[in-house]
Structure 1
């Protein structure tokens, strides 16, 4: 609204004349306009031409840096969901905006991005980050600001202990249940002595801790225990020690590119033992980088990679097949379990937001109530004691054959 200040005598005379004929109608009109813009007028979405409030959801992914093979499909999945949600009318009529930040696979950067999303963008919840390290880095930020965080990473310590992680949830299968699945497989092949190699970071350390504990309980000897850097380009030295230990099987806990390099080195040394990876290789990047060396690798993963092979009775099949088709058609890129973790993080937040409205505390409560939710990573059943909601039943054992994922027979 503009305000005019009368300056000259002519202006005063003009408005003095106008007041006799027009002031009362103008005042009444202005009063009606002011009422329309105040509490007594139309609310968002009602008549009055105002749009409904945009619901902002934050997302932090490792889009660049060593973990980009995880973060890129997670970002793309989030954007795909944003487009689909808004195309069907948003959340209860409210448009959705996913504000995405790149932590550059760096823990310090993850904290900076999280603070911006919370303090500047005022997001209702945050999906991500992609890895255990970057997720752990922002747990305190989420807790202190009481903002729901749904990580896409595997480390069980992201959500445990739950009484100190009330605002934190996750979608990737816990490394503890992945270990459980691997131990089960080792028992089926009679492996009693194994070697273990992992990345020297939070993801590798968490997997190593969980596997060491589970192996001891299962009576499995760890004959060699080696680490390598996420950016190392040769692991021959570590694998030479592994070969000398003559294990019944070898377990590797890593993500590409290091997971692919250690696999190529493994084949070059002609180690005569089954090679079992963690679920960190659930993308085509691993196969592309490892090339023929990937063939024969065994690993546990969610059902997304073999969605079309599932029986129609599987409660996830319809969700998995649709997501895979939508993602591959839009981006002309193969599906990835990591993209699925990101999609689940956003979908769980959206589901909670639909029930709770734009209230962070109520969104947190609804996330914790999630039951029988068929996602990409599994069927989620959250509770006050479990902020991951998945068991080893969310995993299947896969084998790479001719560069393709197959269900291990």
Structure 2
């Protein structure tokens, strides 16, 4: 899909063969906007998000729509470019007249769009990981993925069980990697963790052997944490194995929670741990887990439709759309202000990311229990037993 064109999904009215004039049609349709990184370096995020939104808008319209209206989804591809994202955000408001937005694949593109949506007073549910998307809280901005701060806290929580106190960071300089690095440094003291080595790499780096060699030379290092997303963490993982560092545990973030990371890292991924939503291990959850049915059903629907393995990133879009639709139903309205108020009241929503309970001071609504610690074994995701 061209980055300069909109994909519009308008269902049901034409299919039913109804003879409706334009004014009536306009009353029966509500527009939801989305700006995603469908192509470019963050396409592993945007592509499953795009496919998920298309699939579920189709399902919603086939079932009759929401609040008496069919959904028209207007999607733009920013290619991972923050400047393009802001341009498309303005177009969604001024030209397309959307009443809400579910999108923003990366922290950088989301942050670029926030001022546009805040000024327009239109609800924006971001699909990006950085904590700065919702901290400080902005009236019209929400998000579905766990924050980078939460990822640090979940990893450090597991360090306490393993009695790791001295760690190394090797972080991407992308928006997410830099933000998570800052959060890990900030929360480390609360978990008794000292960062004894701190290295970074750029988004175009194809080898990080030099940085890892420096870390290897610090004898005190008990574990390594890699904040980052995209191909960088796979390169880190391969170089880490090549340098024979596997005796020192490597922890990744939820920024790599898709099968493509395992494929890119290959055999080197064996033993890598990371915090992740339950979606990747839905079939391994106990039957009484409140998320099990949601994640198993979404995984089947996505894989049947997209013909590719499920990723947590598509799940973020599923939750964003579901939270928005739930708010529309409760408000029985498509008024942006009324729907915003209902999004903020979201409580007990069981999604792919966890159980969501939002409030005026929390526009994410997840706690650390929403993260599961996973380990890659035999080329697949496995739950790490509690306390290990």
Alignment of 1:261-272 (within 5 A): 261-271=235-245, 272=247
Superposed CA deviations along residues 54-97 of structure 1, whole A, max 9, x for unmatched, are: 11111111111111111100111101111110111111331111
Measure the CA separation in 2 of the matches of 1:237 and 1:342. Answer: 37
Measure the CA separation in 2 of the matches of 1:123 and 1:319. Answer: 28
Is 1:395–2:371 an aligned residue pair? yes
Partner of 1:83: 58
Contact 2:315-2:353 at 8 Å conserved across structures: yes
**RMSD between aligned residues:** 1.5
Is 1:124–2:104 an aligned residue pair? no
Partner of 1:69: 44
Contact 1:256-1:285 at 8 Å conserved across structures: no
Is 1:215–2:188 an aligned residue pair? yes
Partner of 2:13: none
Partner of 1:188: 161
Contact 1:301-1:398 at 8 Å conserved across structures: yes
Partner of 2:289: 314
Superposed CA deviations along residues 221-242 of structure 1, whole A, max 9, x for unmatched, are: 1111111112211111111111
Partner of 1:101: 76
Structure ranking higher in helix proportion: 1
1:282 corresponds, among 254, 257, 273, to 257
> Which sits farther off after the overlay, 209-218 or 266-275?
209-218
Superposed CA deviations along residues 178-233 of structure 1, whole A, max 9, x for unmatched, are: 11111110111111110001110221121011111111222211111111112211
Superposed CA deviations along residues 304-352 of structure 1, whole A, max 9, x for unmatched, are: 0000111121111111111000000011100100110111111111111
Could you list the runs of 4 or more consecutive aligned residues of structure 1 that deviate by over 6 angstroms after TM superposition? none
Partner of 2:110: 135
Say if 1:145 and 1:405 are closer, same or farther in 2 by CA, change over 3 A.
same
Contact 2:316-2:353 at 8 Å conserved across structures: yes
Measure the CA separation in 2 of the matches of 1:237 and 1:343. Answer: 40
Contact 2:67-2:328 at 8 Å conserved across structures: no
Is 1:299–2:274 an aligned residue pair? yes
1:392 Cα offset (Å): 0.5
Measure the CA separation in 1 of the matches of 2:269 and 2:163. Answer: 23
1:48 Cα offset (Å): 8.4
2:224 corresponds, among 250, 253, 262, to 250
Measure the CA separation in 2 of the matches of 1:152 and 1:407. Answer: 24
Contact 2:177-2:229 at 8 Å conserved across structures: no
Say if 1:397 and 1:48 are closer, same or farther in 2 by CA, change over 3 A.
closer
1:224 corresponds, among 197, 219, 237, to 197
Structure ID, larger Rg: 1
Partner of 1:404: 380
Is 1:359–2:319 an aligned residue pair? no
1:133 Cα offset (Å): 1.1
Is the partner of 1:245 in helix, strand or coil? coil
Alignment of 1:149-188 (within 5 A): 149-162=124-137, 165-188=138-161
Measure the CA separation in 2 of the matches of 1:65 and 1:134. Answer: 13
TM-score (norm 1): 0.86
TM-score (norm 2): 0.91
Is the partner of 2:217 in helix, strand or coil? helix
What residue ranges of structure 2 are gaps of 5+ in the alignment? 1-18
Is the partner of 2:139 in helix, strand or coil? coil
Partner of 1:386: 362
Contact 1:66-1:231 at 8 Å conserved across structures: no
Partner of 2:172: 199
Measure the CA separation in 1 of the matches of 2:295 and 2:360. Answer: 27
The aligned length equals 362
